[in-house]
Amino acid sequence: MQPESVYTAEGITVVHGDTLDRMDGVVADSTVNLIFADPPYNIGKKFGGFHDRWESDDAYASWCTRWLDLCIRKLAPDGTLYVMASTQAMPYLDLYLRSRLTILSRIVWAYDSSGVQAKRYFGSLYEPILHAVKDSARYTFNADAIAVEARTGAVRQLIDYRKPTPTLYNSKKIPGNVWSLPRVRYRMDEYEDHPSQKPEALLERIILASSNPGDLVLDPFAGTFTTGAVAKRLGRWFIGIEREREYVKIGLRRLRVRKELDGEPLMPPQKTYVRRNGKASTADDGSATGDLFGSSK
């Protein structure tokens, strides 16, 4: 008897398995309103039992085209796809998608450094994101839902005299394609034990902008299931596929699908470690002292 690998509760579906093998069995074609794909980057990280390294760039690009084709097939006619990748690999994905979807934006997620930076070249402090749609004339984009404060004269109550009737400058604007959002740090409430966790703020902007309540959101590389956590909070349906069992356990707990798995209680990570002289140790009082450490690709 095969172990259970699909878990559902209240519009949330968590799937344990490889996305190339499982997607067709759990997602109907042309039904997904929003896909957020954050695959392994081919930069040598370890995700549980999986080592993120392909034998060549061509082999990695070939693998990416396979799951991209699947994602495109699952998108609804007015659906939206966001894809993250390393700075090295994104050109392959960008060129491949141009003839298949309309790329609306090339987004830069910029963040500060949490550790030692490169000393012989300019270290990377951003990750690229493609924002693409199936139909450039019909897609979801909720501008008002993601408006941010405009750093203009509105803050200082300046008046625009260029208009026929002088008016105050707008106080809100749509974010540009450079997003300065902090990475997930150790001991933050949302922190999970994963080498490339994405922040809820990043997914919140994407989900608010490109889906509506009741829409279906898919994450084919669910990881810590941040996409699902935000989608659930915002009233969306969600399907997340993840190959590593330890991360599936995070999803089941975080999305409140299960409290235990195979008799094992699903517990949040213990955040009782601090950095002292470069080594992890337990804080005597359970409080955060010293330098905190985070995780990102």
Q: With left for phi above 0 and alpha for psi between -120 and 50, is residue 80 left, alpha or beta?
A: beta
For every one of its 297 residues, what pLDDT tens digit does the chain have, with 9 covering 90 and above?
Answer: 346 799 999 999 999 999 999 999 999 999 999 999 999 999 878 888 888 788 999 999 999 999 999 999 999 999 999 999 999 999 999 999 999 999 999 999 999 876 667 889 988 899 999 999 999 999 999 999 999 988 766 567 778 888 898 887 777 889 999 999 998 888 788 889 888 899 999 999 999 999 999 999 999 999 999 999 999 999 999 999 999 999 999 999 999 999 999 889 998 887 766 555 445 555 444 433 333 333 344
Task: Please give the C-alpha separations between residue 264 and each of 15, 268, 281, in angstroms, as whole numbers.
Answer: 18, 13, 26
Q: What is the pTM of this model?
A: 0.86
Topology, domain 6-143+177-271: Rossmann fold (3.40.50)
Three-state DSSP state, 132 = strand
DSSP letters of 8-59? EETTEEEEES-HHHHHHHHS-TT-EEEEEE----SS--EETTEE---SSHHH
The domain ranges of the chain are 6-143+177-271
Position 116 scores a pLDDT of 64
Task: Give CA–CA dist 7/119, Å, rounded.
Answer: 46
> Quick one: CA torsion of 242, 246, 252, 253, rounded to 10 degrees?
-140
Nearest to 258 by CA among 271, 274, 245: 245
Angle between helices 245-254 and 226-233 (to 10 degrees): 20
φ, ψ for residue 233, nearest 5 deg: -60, -30
Task: Please give the C-alpha separations between residue 162 and each of 12, 153, 166, in angstroms, as whole numbers.
Answer: 51, 14, 7
Pairing verdict, β 75-84 and 32-37: parallel
CB 209 within 8 A of CB 33: no
- In the chain the first and final C-alpha atoms are separated, in Å, by 37
φ, ψ for residue 122, nearest 5 deg: -85, 110
